[in-house]
Amino acid sequence: MGRRILITGGLGYVGGRIVERLQASYSLVVSSRSKPSNTVVDSFTNVEFINHPALLLPDTFPDGIDTIIHLAALNEIECVTHPDQAILVNINHTRQLLENAIHKKVKRFIFFSTIHIYGKNVENNNMDEFTMPRPLHPYAITHRAAEDYVLAANESGKIDGIVVRLSNSFGRPLFPSVNRWSLLLNDICRHAIINKEIRLTSSGMQYRDFIALSDVVRAVETLLEMPGINHHPIFNLAAGKCKTVLEMAEAVKNAYARVIGLSIPIILPEGSSKIKDPYFSITSGRLKELGFEPFNNYELELDDMIRFCNLHFSKND
């Protein structure tokens, strides 16, 4: 079995898909704040589970870890509801984990941040890894602060510190209990199954960069096998081409028709504007230098999501 990889938040939304993919190639240690059920444990092979608070103490941090993929954090809703906890978990726990990793001579620390740290600071309607961050939301603010700890550790030569600024990911979670149905496309797919319609709360004319979870997992594999880090360890992880919310709703409608065999309506608020918001793009130039390009296979990811939602949320169950 390959290198020993620690994945925090490995039973969460992005983490679950990463664990699912990497378990065949690496020896994985997955942190969890509660004891996983037998069903969860039986879903994996070559996976060791550890209580997450143990990672925050040097005496109980596991030995022999080669790389950490750090995903454990409060989500965007929790950061607004519990701002003090967001600072503790997203910033201070990241710092503690990083310090323990350095103490235990971990080679690489991959920190998942968010593309939203750029805020509204878009130069020439394009964001790349050199765009100045201007975070506006507590979720983005706390991730930006945690980034600085990772970047400082990397610059000092203590560890290979990598920051991944993830765009709007979508796709099937590993378990229906994973609480990321607040994400736009996930929510649209789930409600399409439950209500047999797609109902938007806006005109859908906003542009967003949507990246499939299958591409996120492929990017992680690229970063794990990257031989070394040069002077700029920040990586945008985005599709590279934005689509409107309405265009993606149409894509969900088509996936529903392919998988379920029925046509459902898309319902917009009365009086919705048909004027599109200004277009922008997000460049993942650093990953491209490593040979990574997203497949952007939206049909495959959305079909998978519709099947998953139909299995777990259909009223016919």
User: How many Cα atoms sit within 13 Å of 110 on the Cβ side?
Assistant: 28
User: Which of 57, 159, 48 is CA-nearest to residue 106?
Assistant: 159
Rounded to an integer, what distance in angstroms lies between the CA atom of residue 214 and that of residue 195?
27
What CATH number should be reported for the domain whose range is 4-169+211-237?
3.40.50.720
Task: Tell the burial category of 279 from Cβ atoms under 10 Å away from its Cβ (0-12, 13-18, 19+).
Answer: exposed
Rounded to an integer, what distance in angstroms lies between the CA atom of residue 98 and that of residue 92?
10
pTM, rounded to two decimals: 0.95
Rounded to an integer, what distance in angstroms lies between the CA atom of residue 24 and that of residue 260?
32
Rounded to an integer, what distance in angstroms lies between the CA atom of residue 4 and that of residue 47?
10
Give me the pLDDT at residue 186, please: 95
Per the structure block, which two tokens stand in for 24?
A: 């065949």
Rounded to an integer, what distance in angstroms lies between the CA atom of residue 97 and that of residue 109?
10
Give me the pLDDT at residue 229, please: 72
Q: Are 183 and 171 in contact (CB under 8 A)?
A: no
Let me know if domain 171-209+241-277+296-313 sits in CATH 3.90.25.10: yes
The contacts of residue 134 (CB under 8 Å, 6+ apart) are: 118, 119, 120, 121
Give me the pLDDT at residue 317, please: 47
Rounded to an integer, what distance in angstroms lies between the CA atom of residue 214 and that of residue 295?
9
Give me the pLDDT at residue 316, please: 63
- Give the residue extent of every domain in the chain: 4-169+211-237, 171-209+241-277+296-313
Rounded to an integer, what distance in angstroms lies between the CA atom of residue 200 and that of residue 151?
39
pLDDT cut 70: percent of the chain above it? 97
Average pLDDT of each block of 10 consecutive residues along the chain (317 residues)? 90 95 95 84 89 95 97 94 97 98 97 93 76 94 98 95 97 89 94 96 94 98 87 93 96 98 96 86 94 96 97 80
Give me the pLDDT at residue 142, please: 98
Rounded to an integer, what distance in angstroms lies between the CA atom of residue 112 and that of residue 127?
17
**pLDDT tens digits, 218-254:** 999 999 999 877 678 999 999 999 999 999 999 999 9
